[in-house]
Structure 1
């Protein structure tokens, strides 16, 4: 049986003439930080002070001794970041140039000093650029010339911290006769039968060549065996009436252990284990009267995808533990999200990410790692791209949660719209990857899944790559130049990116910028704002709806978070109300990789912004929304649940002081997975552009509001509300904050982290009518008084 020796301990990092303790897996930055050689690059302006780290070469050392009874010993690196030479016992055993691959070297009989020498990623990228020539990209960094996490080089939400190191586990594998080189389970469902076709490849030692081997696979109580003399075998298993894996909200997520064993006449040689799920996934891209659709169909059920984009959760990915993955993805599930798109400027995530998605019912859309640049297709990059794709398709394909492979992020769009084409003058730029190499690899290795060439992509060059009527669409004109109401200007077939910025929570800002007097344009705030004219866009977004506060950072901070939540909600409510024409929204973005003003719903310290709570509301199975349009004001009753929704919707036309001017009740019966659009009766539509009236729709505890004019023009009554603090018996220190409204209180928000950095509230923005009450449960705040709570409460209707 194969023996494995993890090489976790005993590593050192050479820094000048010193040897520092090194953590493996890890990276140079985290080792230097642990040794107090550099300051924390996430704080203040320290990012710029540590820029030199990415410009230098670095060496990791270990003394590796081993004594094996096996015929063969391999040194296996699951991840090397990035351009490295490996020397073992004084012999160079290999060189690498790809962060996203696994490397295996035959080190049989070798023992002694092990050195991994990393070149500066900048030096490697410039050397490749010298071979391939220049290509355009969106940032002045050479990330498209090296197969490395592109966002290491900075992004419009991330710092420039160019890493190096042994970022995934390393081990010695000792084996004899043969080992399992790859296992590819192709899982399909045919009517009531689950089928698992297990394709295996083996590697043999010289002594094992030609020997008869036995492969055995077991799943769900079924077993298949195949005896073979070559290097490949296929095992087929059938499971009658398996329980199906569903996205969250559609059913359960049963998973089954799939075990593969390789044997010869002397016993076990190697084993492999994963969990699989039985389900079908189709991508309906059929043309229709509106254009070309893009609808995921799981187990025959057409799905409106409630998605978010995912970036690496830390700019130093080796710090992301399985527990951290699960926490962040559980936050996604808590917000009623059912799809996570792994964006192409990051990494193929750790197995723990996909395991959590399998269990939580989060569909995974996996980009291949190309983003916002023209990528050369010449060597040495082309061979690396193919090897990387093959590695990761085989590694990830067992996961039931993985529903789509995607070729790139915005590169097809960039070629057409970002002035790349003239400068390229016929040079390669990646099209051969997206329309040739990658679909070929997916078709060969994972034919059970669909491949899309890019995001956005209309399906062919017959249409503009970012045509809202065809395929996937990125909506960025709104954040960059327009009010969020402009989301209602079109109905794309599938919105795979859109979003709005806001700063992180106050506790996160105070940790990242200790001692700074916070202002929108204070030095630390500007340094932790990476988007072009980011603060200008934030301010213009606020000014369209509110009086921009001068000299009041707390108010500015609150209003920017309110506008972020409202903006994203406006897009999702509009697009959901047009299901099935629009079949999904994927918000940019769920998470952050450091403390920064960004589009994220969860900030760099893991604290939810109001947007996270708003996603829970607008991504719920059932939603009420009031939609203005050319046909007048419409009530959309959205039912994404599996059961019919019969309800009475009360429409109340009110004055600012709460006086009722009109009332009507609409009976609604909405079929499962469908939307009912009803015109709002004339007597309950607020008059014209009135500044004194608004409309409220209520049904089954859900609420929608419609204000005809921006907040700054509305005749709000000065908000008046009472606050009480009630301990929750037997809860371990939780308290209920009880707010009783005496007037209209719009978008009330408790910023719980102002009470304590460890505090969290169970809800975000809430609008109360006069006489209404809300209970906000807070965990982790300790003993607080009502005055403390009042200082942490904000609302929109305060001039």
Structure 2
């Protein structure tokens, strides 16, 4: 049987004469940090002080003594090298690499001595390739399209510029004889309750193993198959009866079955391969209809309204993202009622733990190929690297049932049409041949069980604008960039693959990142940790449309969080109410890669913004929403039911005065069918007066609430908020002590928020924004804060307050 020797100890990193201990897997930035040679680039403006790291060459070395393996062949295997490297062992050059996103294997039979991995600066390599292929347009002033490296390591409008180098995935020696399983490619399908696995196998043989008949055995879910191969390729088919279907979360369970493959010479095992797989079907409905071109995912024949979010690398220094960290972040996504994660094309093909956790949690994965916001040359040496990269990762990831869509690129087809690229390129290649040629060919050849989309956004044809709301996927960025969030209601895209609104991270995250700064919205550290073009200007304008722009930081911080949550809610509630015309929303974004003001729902320290709690409401199976006006100008109520059972409820509507006085009310029994939306107009007598600064509408059903105020908050005659707080120590069901904060409203209290991390950086609250009517009471559970006093809690509580003009 094949033997493996991990190479994860004893490495050194050096540049010139300086050497220091190196971690493998790891990167130069984390090694320098661990050695105390650079400051933390995530704090203050230290990012700028460590820019030199990415412009140097670095060498990793390891003493590799002769081994006593009796096998015929020894391979040196790297699962990931970042990025341009030359590998030598005992003075013999084994080869070179130019792609972070591929696996590498070198014949090291009979070699020993010093193993050296010499990395060339990513900038040097990128400029070398640029000189060969010529300039191409790019949305950022960094050369990421000339090197197959994580694009966002060069910086983005939410990320720092920290391109480094390193052995970023495991390294090992593999000792084997006769033959090994070079590639196992399972095509998993299901017909009714019969699961089918078509195993495509590729062997690599030694000279002694050439032409020898070898036996391959496979098993899954009680089914077995065996074949004798005397060549290098073969196909085995297994059919398993009575398999249970794998479903997205919220639609059913996620059963998985162990698929085992063994290669043997007679009775002597040579190699093995094992994965957990799931049986399910996936389709992408794109047949034109009366309103355009849909983009509707269906799993096991069930069409879905996708409740998704975009995913970026969870740390710019990606080797710090452990399996436990993947699980924490993805569980947070599931807790927000997401059912799909889009792995965005400027990051990486994530590690196995990411996809395994998605398999387990029932989170669907939309996987971009790694192209984003740039024109990519199609000449060599890039073209060959991209084909090899795509083949490597399609085969690596295809066993995962959570993976449901391959996508060619992020925004490049749109960029060619709208961002001036077409004129600037003057006929030069820019990536279209990848998205409409190379990549769909590879997916069709290697993984025909999954759909492929050429890009996002993309209208499925050059016959339409790439970002046409009526055709395919749409990215909605005009609203954040130039408009009020109410403008989300002006269109009904077929599928919203990107949209979002910014807010700063949690207060404790800011304080950790800027430990000595006198905080202000425009203080130097806050501006350094704001990477979006005119980001703070857009934040301020977003607040000013609804509130008086505050001068103090704490109030500004709270109001930007409120506006972020309201903005995303406006879009999702509108688009969900138009199911099935609109078949999904994928909010930008679920996570952050460092402490930064951004569109994320979970900040760079892993703390939940109010948006995360709002997503939990917005993406629940049942959503109650008040839509101020549809295309006919009539306000309406929508009961959105994504559950498999009908939703029958009593809807209570109340028109109230600002002081809490009941002006009118009604109650009606309603039913929304399974996976359906029920809509009805708001009765005229319950509509607040047009432009009224005192009247508002409240809808309640089964514990869900929707509110509608006809004017901006800065115009509405809010009373001065009055509420009582009580703190009660409790034994938390999750283990450990906690406190319940009981809030009793004496007036209307709009968007109350308890920022638990202001009490203690380790504290968290289980609720986000809460609106209470006079006399109502609610409870917020706080964990990790000990037993604070009511006064300590009150200092961490914010809510909407009346403006001076109204007072």
Q: State the TM-score bracket (shorter-chain normalisation).
A: over 0.9
Q: What is aligned with 1:566? A: 566
In 2: Cα distance, 1:179 partner to 1:359 partner: 29
In 2: Cα distance, 1:394 partner to 1:291 partner: 34
Q: What is aligned with 1:134? A: 135
For residues 611-622 of structure 1, the aligned pairs below 5 Å read 611-622=611-622
Q: What is aligned with 2:699? A: 697
In 2: Cα distance, 1:523 partner to 1:343 partner: 30
1:586-619 deviation per Cα after TM superposition (whole angstroms, max 9, x unaligned): 0000000000000000000000000000000000
SS in 1 for 2:330: helix
Q: CA deviation at 1:266?
A: 4.7
In 1: Cα distance, 2:742 partner to 2:671 partner: 34
Q: What is aligned with 2:20? A: 20
Q: What is aligned with 2:33? A: 33
In 1: Cα distance, 2:802 partner to 2:760 partner: 25
1:760 aligns with 2:760: no
For residues 88-237 of structure 1, the aligned pairs below 5 Å read 88-237=89-238
> Could you tell me whether the CA contact under 8 Å between 2:655 and 2:696 is conserved in 1?
yes
Please identify, of 113-122 and 213-222, the stretch whose mean Cα deviation from structure 2 is larger.
213-222
Q: What is aligned with 1:585? A: 585
1:649-676 deviation per Cα after TM superposition (whole angstroms, max 9, x unaligned): 0000001111011101122111110001
For residues 424-443 of structure 1, the aligned pairs below 5 Å read 424-443=425-444
For residues 362-761 of structure 1, the aligned pairs below 5 Å read 362-550=363-551, 552-629=552-629, 630-729=632-731, 731-761=735-765
> Could you tell me whether the CA contact under 8 Å between 1:406 and 1:452 is conserved in 2?
yes
> Could you tell me whether the CA contact under 8 Å between 2:457 and 2:497 is conserved in 1?
yes
1:784 aligns with 2:785: no
In 1: Cα distance, 2:68 partner to 2:751 partner: 67
SS in 1 for 2:737: coil
TM-score w.r.t. length of structure 2:
0.98
In 2: Cα distance, 1:732 partner to 1:82 partner: 45
SS in 2 for 1:297: strand
> Could you tell me whether the CA contact under 8 Å between 1:542 and 1:559 is conserved in 2?
yes
In 2: Cα distance, 1:18 partner to 1:130 partner: 32
In 2: Cα distance, 1:16 partner to 1:227 partner: 54
1:250-269 deviation per Cα after TM superposition (whole angstroms, max 9, x unaligned): 00000111111000125100
1:754-786 deviation per Cα after TM superposition (whole angstroms, max 9, x unaligned): 011111111100100000011000110112000
In 2: Cα distance, 1:70 partner to 1:726 partner: 67
In 1: Cα distance, 2:325 partner to 2:85 partner: 29
Q: CA deviation at 1:363?
A: 0.1
Please identify, of 464-473 and 222-231, the stretch whose mean Cα deviation from structure 2 is larger.
222-231
Q: CA deviation at 1:221?
A: 1.5
Q: CA deviation at 1:798?
A: 4.4
In 2: Cα distance, 1:307 partner to 1:267 partner: 48
1:697-716 deviation per Cα after TM superposition (whole angstroms, max 9, x unaligned): 00000000001011000000
In 1: Cα distance, 2:490 partner to 2:287 partner: 24
In 1: Cα distance, 2:800 partner to 2:243 partner: 52
1:774 aligns with 2:778: yes
Q: CA deviation at 1:241?
A: 2.4
> Could you tell me whether the CA contact under 8 Å between 2:261 and 2:273 is conserved in 1?
yes
In 1: Cα distance, 2:701 partner to 2:801 partner: 24
Aligned residue pairs: how many? 798
In 1: Cα distance, 2:317 partner to 2:726 partner: 43
In 2: Cα distance, 1:512 partner to 1:434 partner: 39
In 2: Cα distance, 1:564 partner to 1:470 partner: 27
In 1: Cα distance, 2:74 partner to 2:145 partner: 35
Q: CA deviation at 1:577?
A: 0.2
Q: CA deviation at 1:233?
A: 1.4
In 1: Cα distance, 2:39 partner to 2:768 partner: 35
1:680-713 deviation per Cα after TM superposition (whole angstroms, max 9, x unaligned): 1111111111110000000000000001011000
> Could you tell me whether the CA contact under 8 Å between 1:215 and 1:233 is conserved in 2?
no
In 2: Cα distance, 1:16 partner to 1:177 partner: 42
In 2: Cα distance, 1:293 partner to 1:220 partner: 36
In 2: Cα distance, 1:241 partner to 1:766 partner: 47
> Could you tell me whether the CA contact under 8 Å between 1:750 and 1:792 is conserved in 2?
yes
SS in 2 for 1:236: strand
In 2: Cα distance, 1:482 partner to 1:651 partner: 31
Q: CA deviation at 1:152?
A: 0.6
SS in 2 for 1:641: coil
Q: CA deviation at 1:239?
A: 1.5
SS in 2 for 1:29: helix
For residues 65-76 of structure 1, the aligned pairs below 5 Å read 65=65, 66-76=67-77
1:296-324 deviation per Cα after TM superposition (whole angstroms, max 9, x unaligned): 00001110000000000000111100000
Change in 2 beyond 3 A, CA 1:235/1:672: same
In 1: Cα distance, 2:190 partner to 2:574 partner: 35
In 2: Cα distance, 1:361 partner to 1:300 partner: 16
Q: Which runs of 4+ in 1 moved over 6 A?
A: none
1:257-291 deviation per Cα after TM superposition (whole angstroms, max 9, x unaligned): 11110001251000001110000000000111110
Gaps of 5+ in 1: none
Please identify, of 356-365 and 224-233, the stretch whose mean Cα deviation from structure 2 is larger.
224-233
1:81-136 deviation per Cα after TM superposition (whole angstroms, max 9, x unaligned): 00000010001110000000000000000011000000000000000000000000
Q: What is aligned with 1:52? A: 52
In 2: Cα distance, 1:478 partner to 1:649 partner: 32
TM-score w.r.t. length of structure 1:
0.99
